[in-house]
Amino acid sequence: MSNLGFFATAPRNLESLLAEELKAIGLPGVSEARGGARFAGDLADAYRACLWSRVASRVLMPIARFPAPDAEALYAGASAIPWEAHLSPDRTLAVHLDSAQSQVSHSRFGALKVKDAIVDRLRARTGSRPDVRTERPDLQVHVWLLRDEATVSIDLAGESLHRRGYREQGSAAPLKENLAAALLLRAGWPEIAAEGGALLDPMCGSGTLPIEGALIAADIAPGLLRRYLGFARWLGHDAGLWDRLVAEAEERRRAGLGQLGSLRGYDRDPNAIRVALANLGRAGLAGRVHFERRELADCNPGREGDRGLVIVNPPYGERLGAHSDLPALYAQLGAVLRERFLGWRAAVFTGNPELGHELGLRARRYHSLYNGPIECRLLHFEIGPEAFTSSAPRPLPPEERGEGAAMLANRLRKNQKALDKWRRREGVTCYRLYDADLPEYALAVDVYAGERRWVNVQEYEAPKSIDPRLARRRLREALGVIAEVLEVPSDQVFFRVRRPQKGKAQYERLDQRGRFYEVEENGLRFLVNFEDYLDTGLFLDHRDTRRMLGELAAGRDFLNLFGYTGTASVYAARGGARSTTTVDLSNTYLDWAERNLALNGFTGPAHRLIQADCLRWLAEAERERRRYGLIFLDPPTFSTSKRMDDTLDIQRDHVSLIRDAVVLLEPDGELIFSNNLRRFRLDRDALADLVIDDITGHTIPKDFARSPRIHHCWRIRRR
């Protein structure tokens, strides 16, 4: 057979990519068409399309066209086709019909008429008829009715080519294999792989993207894995020709496997990883792709020096995930990309483009594609500082805001007026202006001042019962109102979602922009960071506590446990402390503390910074009989770390922690103990031998007076 016309179908919006692919395969006469691409050639070209196309859904060989204005004409036209050249009566068939703008509009009825025509013709000529088999028949017939004209084709694929043969089961909402391949092709993976680049999917599910990536990188024909092909029992099939093409593909596979680079897939679900490994084995690629159970927050390139493509299909609100959880998921994905994949390219496939803004990355381009009926976008990124953006939602302009926005504006102005006299008297420049005063706008708004003013907005996580779209709209209203009322440019307004934090997540890095801003408090200078961490580095509710520490520190050796960014140490140093010692597990925070001390002129051996687990350090300090006149103990509510020997639960462990600290006090020394657990209860009975004064009320600043449980604070001495 030569000079035949064929039609390869493709998912919506992939027609141009399919045409490019068929040309690259070497097929002649390729042209893009609605719903796929046409090509002309011989049977070998059609077989190559079935064997090598990663994007096509089906390869159709038209055998007849005729007018079909009604069911009788459809039957007559189908009856005139020489079916005996295509199918023997001892084999099976199935007919699929699609109709558009035609009188025969019911696809099942039309398919039944064509099936009857085939069966009746073969019975009349042979005395017997083929059976109908809907799943994997010997001959799959496809009929396309458009404006009352029928095109009848042999479906050479038999079933969709996305069924490669390696995937028997998947995790929730898997991508079809040909769509996964299309995403990789659009993302430039063939070129990256050819240059030795790596591929990583941090939310790999059943492993489709990494496996398709391996097939592309190793030059493996996707059709090699298929155990069913529609032409295998078609009477026109040339078995020898097919065998030669398969042998050529097998040789290319052997050569390609030797050039395969680093491919990785991570997922938090252990069952998904088990499925991915099973799929990898069926694909003949066992050991060629590394799959591992890993939380998104723990994802990294895997090998130092690797560069390449991160590709991911995160949930986007269809079939998977609660809407209210998704912005945080995308924000975390963006933080991981910015922090650990600098120099990589990334492609994120989402059906909710609004969520793409949460990534904090500027897309260099995008493709509109479809995942089934869902319109999606494939967002392309070059991961570098020049692509970093704010992940804050875009503020709504005044004309789009509701009545609640005016109420919020009035409340902000009222709060500002109420605080102005106090701020001027106390010299307060960094303060909390608003703290969820209106339940519809559950935000904390903090103002920081230095050479300029910055506003840090934190949204309290909404309960599951709140419509996430309504919450999102109110947030966008609020961001616009806040910038206008405070007369601050939008690029000086920063945004975070504040969630209950557990374990190491309390101090986990969220970003890696590295932008610090110098602010002033009580004549001291501090560096704050509005983007990289959950907290800014300056706890505003501890403003009065810091001032008190400065007053108590004169002539004393000061110990700052769980020292964070060293702000308390700076106050103690200015207050005349003989020495300061700041202990924290994080080198990052200790570096920050050192910068804060130096910014205020406090350097040298009198100001020690110690990287250590505070629990272990306390025990060592007691053995070495170190003593301090003033200790500030402000531990996290709960803490765990790979570098810590144990977990810290402040409610459970506070008695032993306080006792371990008190042992280090000079005879007339004092311990200031504070924490932020709202339901905390101090066990006074277990500490009855100590003098304990509750000074919480004296340490809650005016701007936090409406949140009296923001922290607890005690002054503790020996009897």
Residues 6+ apart with CB under 8 A from 5: 38, 39, 40, 62
If residue 240 lies in a helix (H) or strand (E), which one and from where to where? helix 239-257
What per-residue confidence (pLDDT) applies to 321? 38
Ramachandran angles phi, psi of 143, nearest 5°: -125, 130
Domain residue limits at 406: 398-499
pLDDT at 222 > cutoff 90: yes
Residue 207 falls inside a structural domain: yes
- Considering the domain architecture, whether residues 532 and 592 belong to the same structural domain is answered as yes
Residue 510 falls inside a structural domain: no
Please report, rounded to a whole number, the percentage of residues in the chain having pLDDT higher than 90.
79
Q: What is the mean pLDDT of residues 635-661?
A: 81
Q: What is the mean pLDDT of residues 34-38?
A: 96
Total Cβ atoms within 10 A of residue 36? 24
**The residue to which tokens 């969820």 are assigned:** 436
How many Cα atoms within 13 Å fall on the side-chain side of residue 587? 1
Q: What is the mean pLDDT of residues 244-254?
A: 97
Tokens of residue 666, six digits: 């000079």
Angstrom distance (rounded) from CA 272 to CA 172: 9
- Considering the domain architecture, whether residues 361 and 213 belong to the same structural domain is answered as yes
- Count how many domains the chain has: 4
pLDDT at 641 > cutoff 70: no
- Considering the domain architecture, whether residues 554 and 702 belong to the same structural domain is answered as yes
Angstrom distance (rounded) from CA 538 to CA 565: 8
Residue 163 falls inside a structural domain: no
- Considering the domain architecture, whether residues 181 and 308 belong to the same structural domain is answered as yes
Residue 353's pLDDT band, with cuts at 50, 70 and 90, is confident
**Letter for the amino acid at 312?**
V
> Which spans in 296-396 are helix H?
326-340, 353-356
DSSP string, 44-103: HHHHHHHHH-SS-SEEEEEEEEEE-SSHHHHHHHHHTS-GGGT--TTSEEEEEEEEESSS
What per-residue confidence (pLDDT) applies to 393? 73
Sheet holding 149-155, edge to edge: 31-33, 36-41, 4-9, 58-67, 149-155, 139-146, 92-100, 131-132
- Considering the domain architecture, whether residues 109 and 17 belong to the same structural domain is answered as yes
Q: Are the CB atoms for 312 and 380 separated by under 8 Å?
A: no
CA nearest neighbour of 114 among 49, 176, 169, 68: 68
Task: Compute the Cα dihedral for 611, 617, 623, 629 and give only its sign.
Answer: positive
What per-residue confidence (pLDDT) applies to 473? 87
What per-residue confidence (pLDDT) applies to 503? 42
- Considering the domain architecture, whether residues 64 and 186 belong to the same structural domain is answered as no
Tokens of residue 599, six digits: 């910014």
pLDDT at 171 > cutoff 70: no
At CB < 8 A and 24+ separation, what contacts does 38-41 make?
Answer: 38/5, 38/6, 38/7, 38/8, 39/5, 39/6, 39/8, 40/3, 40/4, 40/5, 40/6, 41/2, 41/3, 41/4, 41/6
pLDDT at 278 > cutoff 80: yes
Q: What is the mean pLDDT of residues 27-37?
A: 96
**Letter for the amino acid at 681?**
R
Residue 356 falls inside a structural domain: yes
pLDDT at 392 > cutoff 80: no
Q: Are the CB atoms for 170 and 181 separated by under 8 Å?
A: no
CA distances from 345 to 98, 189, 266, 361, 383 (A): 40, 10, 17, 12, 6
Angstrom distance (rounded) from CA 634 to CA 648: 13
Question: DSSP assignment, residue 149?
Answer: E
Residues 6+ apart with CB under 8 A from 130: 87, 88, 89, 90, 91, 92, 93, 118, 119, 122, 138, 139
Angstrom distance (rounded) from CA 345 to CA 210: 15
- Considering the domain architecture, whether residues 190 and 139 belong to the same structural domain is answered as no
Residues 6+ apart with CB under 8 A from 464: 322, 324
Tokens of residue 253, six digits: 């596979």
CATH number of the structural domain spanning residue 105? 3.30.2130.30
- Taking only the tens place, the pLDDT of each residue in 299-334 is 999 888 899 999 999 987 643 333 346 887 888 899
Greatest alpha-carbon span in the chain: 113
Q: Are the CB atoms for 185 and 61 separated by under 8 Å?
A: no
Radius of gyration for the chain, computed over Cα atoms and rounded to the nearest angstrom: 34
Residue 418's pLDDT band, with cuts at 50, 70 and 90, is very high
- Considering the domain architecture, whether residues 593 and 679 belong to the same structural domain is answered as yes
Angstrom distance (rounded) from CA 286 to CA 278: 9
Residue 486's pLDDT band, with cuts at 50, 70 and 90, is very high
Q: Are strands 308-312 and 290-293 parallel, antiparallel or unpaired?
A: unpaired
What per-residue confidence (pLDDT) applies to 507? 43
- Considering the domain architecture, whether residues 488 and 450 belong to the same structural domain is answered as yes
Residue 511 falls inside a structural domain: no
Angstrom distance (rounded) from CA 59 to CA 47: 9
What per-residue confidence (pLDDT) applies to 504? 41
What per-residue confidence (pLDDT) applies to 325? 67
Angstrom distance (rounded) from CA 199 to CA 265: 8
pLDDT at 461 > cutoff 80: no
- Taking only the tens place, the pLDDT of each residue in 575-625 is 999 999 999 999 999 999 999 999 999 999 999 999 999 999 999 998 988
What per-residue confidence (pLDDT) applies to 644? 43
Q: What is the mean pLDDT of residues 266-278?
A: 95
Residue 225 falls inside a structural domain: no
Work out the mean pLDDT of the chain and round it to a whole number.
Answer: 91
Angstrom distance (rounded) from CA 52 to CA 463: 50
Where does a domain end: 358, 387, 416?
387
Residue 166 falls inside a structural domain: no
pTM equals: 0.64
**The residue to which tokens 């110690």 are assigned:** 610
Q: Are the CB atoms for 111 and 99 separated by under 8 Å?
A: no
Q: How far is CA 332 from the centre of its chain?
A: 6
Total Cβ atoms within 10 A of residue 340? 16
**Letter for the amino acid at 716?**
I
- Considering the domain architecture, whether residues 447 and 476 belong to the same structural domain is answered as yes
**Letter for the amino acid at 70?**
D
- Taking only the tens place, the pLDDT of each residue in 69-115 is 999 999 999 999 999 999 999 999 999 999 999 999 999 999 999 99
Residue 238 falls inside a structural domain: no
CA distances from 396 to 355, 476, 585 (A): 16, 5, 42
pLDDT at 348 > cutoff 90: yes
pLDDT at 467 > cutoff 90: no
Where does a domain end: 387, 410, 436?
387
∠ CA 31-37-42 to the nearest 5 degrees? 80
- Considering the domain architecture, whether residues 323 and 447 belong to the same structural domain is answered as no
CATH number of the structural domain spanning residue 555? 3.40.50.150
Angstrom distance (rounded) from CA 220 to CA 129: 40
CATH number of the structural domain spanning residue 487? 3.30.750.80
| Local structure of 430: helix, strand or coil | coil
CA nearest neighbour of 528 among 600, 632, 448, 453: 448
Ramachandran angles phi, psi of 154, nearest 5°: -90, 125
What per-residue confidence (pLDDT) applies to 323? 39
Ramachandran angles phi, psi of 596, nearest 5°: -65, -45
- Considering the domain architecture, whether residues 619 and 680 belong to the same structural domain is answered as yes
Where does a domain end: 387, 410, 427?
387
- Taking only the tens place, the pLDDT of each residue in 549-566 is 999 999 999 999 999 999
